[in-house]
Structure 1
Amino acid sequence: MKKFVSLVMGVTLLCAMVGAVFAEEVVIKVRTKAGPPHEDWRGNNFIDIVPALNEQLKAEGDARQVKLELIQDNKDWGPYKQEFEFSSKSGEAPDVILSGHEHFADWIESGFVIPLDDYIAQYPETYDDVIPALWDCTMYKGQRWGVPQDAEARPLYWSKLLLKKLGWSAEQIDALPESIEKGEFTLQDLLETAKEAVDKGIVQEGYGYWHRPRNGPDFWYLYYNYGGQTMDDASGKLVYDTAAGLKHLQFYEDATQNYKVLITDMFGREWPEWHTEVSAADKVLFWMGGTWNWGDWKVNYIADKGGEEYLFENIGFGLIPAAEKGGKPVTLTHPLVYGVSSSSKHPDLAFRLITLVTTKEANTKHAVNSAHLGILKSQADYEPYKADRLLGEALYMLNYTTFLPNNPGWGTYSEAWFQALQAVETGDLTAEDAVGFVVEQLQNELGDAVIIQ
């Protein structure tokens, strides 16, 4: 009997040693962009789920064991995108890449990422839970190329402190979100209210209304607001509507040159300076930003003033006002998505990692800490998500949302327009001349890939 037990123990030990010898360590590299510390769960969620994946692989008899290599920083989008492109060309790209959905069309055409429909179909319990509208931003040529990581709304913010100084009652301030939603308070009202604040010395010249200090998606909800479209669904070509484009650029000309409520050197500001000025709520009357800014402000800018309590007491938010009385307000959602590189030697494992972080528990950690909206239907009834006041109050904005187009020419298109905007705000071009500049640039750079209306 003792010999039999010894034999069994010996065989067991031998099997364990053989298993250890033949276990294959697989390095999966994940690349994410996040503003610390509030957005760190974009990457850190992967750290938490690697042990669970390795246990699943063992149980399945799969000899592979995943070792995670996470690269996460807050590099600007331009260099971040170029980094992935350069590494893809050399065959050394990360297995998982997180980026804005509009970047993927370029990468798809270049062969840098793979379609994910077949993988998505293997995990219906997970992916049937994704809010259906969010899949639209991952689509290109009839296939899904990414998995939504987060969503957001881009509201108009205002200082309650400064509106009170301007003579608004508490009731008027509290009613402003509804007034915007009904189309009663418009973009023109915004400019006129901001000018009143400047004229009365409530804010200094140029501090009545601010936008972001860098190029980005935020500017395009105003173009949509004025009736513009960016892509023709039938042909898949980009579109520039000159009538809407003129109204769009005229708004910024009015803000800087005519009403003088927006500083003319906004694009010379750095992000930390911008956040410091707006989050204090005592210098700028109106500004346009994102829900995720709220998470940044409460942790990195006004924690010493009371954090989120200070924000709710002194800052209000609502949709981007309609262009005309009775019109429909808007916002824009710019989901970040996880994709799988075509350089990956183990795309199935890369995708399983994405799947394991696409849960209400993992995504809510990110949503609550960073003030991003959830991506799963189940989060609406998940108590930690429901308990967050900002997420609950901003959720209705998704009913008014728009998206950037998925088109490989979008970067060129956006940059041509941004050059025109800069010239308008400095007074070097009128809005009308700037539209002509945009048309010329788009025709030169994109040719018949863009439709000019």
Structure 2
Amino acid sequence: MIHWKIGTAALLSAALAGGAAAFLAATPLLAQETVKLELWSRQDPSGPLRPGNVVKAAERLNKELEAEGSPKRVEVVVRESPAKGFDDDALQLLRVFGIGEGPDMFIAAHEWICAFQEEGFVLKLDDYIAKYPQHFGTIFPSLWSSAKCPDGTYAIPQDAEARMFFYNKKLLREAGYDDAFIDSMPERTMSGDLTMDELLDIAKQVVEKTEAQYGVLHRPNKGPDYIMAFNSYGNDFVDPETGNLLLEREKLAAAFGWFERGVKEGVIPANNTAMEFDALRREFYTGNAAFWMYGIWDLGSVAFPTYGLPQEEEAFFKDWGWIAGPAAEKGGSPVSLTHPIVYVIAADTEEPELAVRLLGHASAPDLNTDHAVTTTHLGIKPEQLEDPRYAEAWPLARATELLKITKFLPNNAQFGELNGIIYAGIQGVESGRLSAQEAADFVIEEASSSLEDVIVK
């Protein structure tokens, strides 16, 4: 069932201060010509300002149109989807577009945009982005990569995240590492000096010389985080010329080899993929593991409120820290991984210019910061670092540094299925059922037989 709601009605009343006033402002009463723009958004309590900021943006655009002497005024209609996740939402929306009932704009996970582009459902934005630098000119350049298909840009980044290896400095000290070594780890990682194997060596020292049971923990189900380790070993999983999935046997084997070495060294538990998510968090945040491969949002949602880690910046970094994903070899490139949500415009919207301008206003630093600080997401523009609210949310301000090295999941609708196969490979390696090379061969064989147009090298 799909629900239709106009402006801030019901969906956004809890998210927007002064919801009734915002609704009235976004819905012009005296406009000579009202342009209704429909925005598709899944019901997502973790990000109510994704659609909410578009509603607020209508007020700003309408003032701009009035100043220009234009007779047009914009009214935003929010069209809700009850899909549980972005994958289900995208599949539902593809069907809606397929019967000619698509909205003017929609919110999606970035990896789906090329599926819509291939069907001709979405507007190419390169010319519009160049035309409105006041809206789009300062968005972090790295984020635009998540909005591209092989022939151009088809989306506008709405937010970002950062994934990293958190680490427990108290355990590293107990293992014999001094503060100079520990404090140099982030900089050494960013310079390419600290490697993935050195991370395992550090974790091994912790396991051998302290009471901690684990060296490195990672998520116990399919998801983006462990892809960061594959990125370190050169796996991008997409062919830039065609947009097809790309599997490179040697690089896959090298990445699986890191997990294999971790288990053999007693650093990564062989049953990591069988453990409960909350149990893994508890092991790390209560001091029973050296490293935790996850994302910045975990501090605000779990570490601070549940496990009592210090919320003040200086106190936190006294005993805790994080590093990017290290390079595979010295002198190589570190990585982080983000999963942007994006705004997209339909190819057949009757008012593309107004839709672009509307989403431009929705991308304003103050509105994006409203979303960032209330949901622990990273901002999309450097100006947001100057906002006192963003600066006060120091995990966001500090993690924004990682956007300059960030990687993305491929903009290919089949990657979710491929990721499931990769995760099965990790399970096989960590449980000892597969060697690293066998896991690489398994992924290639399974993907080649079940997915379309997979390129193998």
- Normalised to the residue count of structure 1, the TM-score between the two structures is 0.80
Check conservation: 1:195, 1:259, Cα contact below 8 A. Answer: yes
Q: Is 1:160 aligned to 2:165, yes or no? A: no
Structure 1 unpaired stretches of 5+: 1-18
Check conservation: 2:171, 2:210, Cα contact below 8 A. Answer: no
Partner of 1:436: 441
Residues of 2 paired with 1:440 and 1:121: CA distance? 43
Check conservation: 2:217, 2:280, Cα contact below 8 A. Answer: no
Which of 369, 372, 382 is equivalent to 1:364? Answer: 369
Worse-superposed segment, 264-273 or 418-427? 264-273
Worse-superposed segment, 428-437 or 343-352? 343-352
Q: Is 1:259 aligned to 2:265, yes or no? A: yes
1:373 maps to amino acid: L
Residues of 1 paired with 2:31 and 2:339: CA distance? 46
The Cα of 1:338 is off from its aligned counterpart by 1.0
Partner of 2:21: none
Which of 170, 191, 212 is equivalent to 1:203? Answer: 212
Which of 77, 82, 85 is equivalent to 1:76? Answer: 85
Check conservation: 1:210, 1:262, Cα contact below 8 A. Answer: yes
Partner of 1:422: 427
Mapping of 1:24-423 within 5 angstroms?
24=34, 26=36, 28-31=38-41, 36=46, 39-56=47-64, 60-62=69-71, 64-69=73-78, 71=80, 75-200=84-209, 202-204=211-213, 207-256=214-263, 258-269=264-275, 271-278=277-284, 280-297=285-302, 300-302=305-307, 306-309=310-313, 311-342=316-347, 348-382=353-387, 384-386=389-391, 388-423=393-428
Change (3 A) 1:128 1:25: closer
Residues of 2 paired with 1:398 and 1:351: CA distance? 24
Aligned-residue CA RMSD in angstroms? 3.4
Larger Rg: 1
Question: SS at 1:69's partner residue?
Answer: strand
Change (3 A) 1:234 1:164: same
Q: Which has the higher helix share?
A: 1
The Cα of 1:174 is off from its aligned counterpart by 1.8
2:269 maps to amino acid: I
Residues of 1 paired with 2:167 and 2:59: CA distance? 45
The Cα of 1:200 is off from its aligned counterpart by 4.1
Residues of 2 paired with 1:379 and 1:106: CA distance? 31
Q: Is 1:452 aligned to 2:449, yes or no? A: no
The Cα of 1:444 is off from its aligned counterpart by 1.8
Question: SS at 2:441's partner residue?
Answer: helix
Partner of 1:6: none
Residues of 1 paired with 2:102 and 2:289: CA distance? 42
The Cα of 1:331 is off from its aligned counterpart by 2.0
Worse-superposed segment, 141-150 or 335-344? 335-344
1:328 maps to amino acid: S
Partner of 1:9: none
Residues of 2 paired with 1:260 and 1:43: CA distance? 46
Residues of 2 paired with 1:117 and 1:181: CA distance? 31
Question: SS at 2:36's partner residue?
Answer: strand
Partner of 2:13: none
The Cα of 1:345 is off from its aligned counterpart by 6.3
Change (3 A) 1:343 1:217: farther
Change (3 A) 1:27 1:42: closer
Aligned residues: 427
The Cα of 1:146 is off from its aligned counterpart by 0.3
The Cα of 1:209 is off from its aligned counterpart by 0.8
Change (3 A) 1:70 1:213: farther
Residues of 2 paired with 1:355 and 1:184: CA distance? 40
Residues of 2 paired with 1:176 and 1:299: CA distance? 23
2:54 maps to amino acid: F
Change (3 A) 1:41 1:324: same
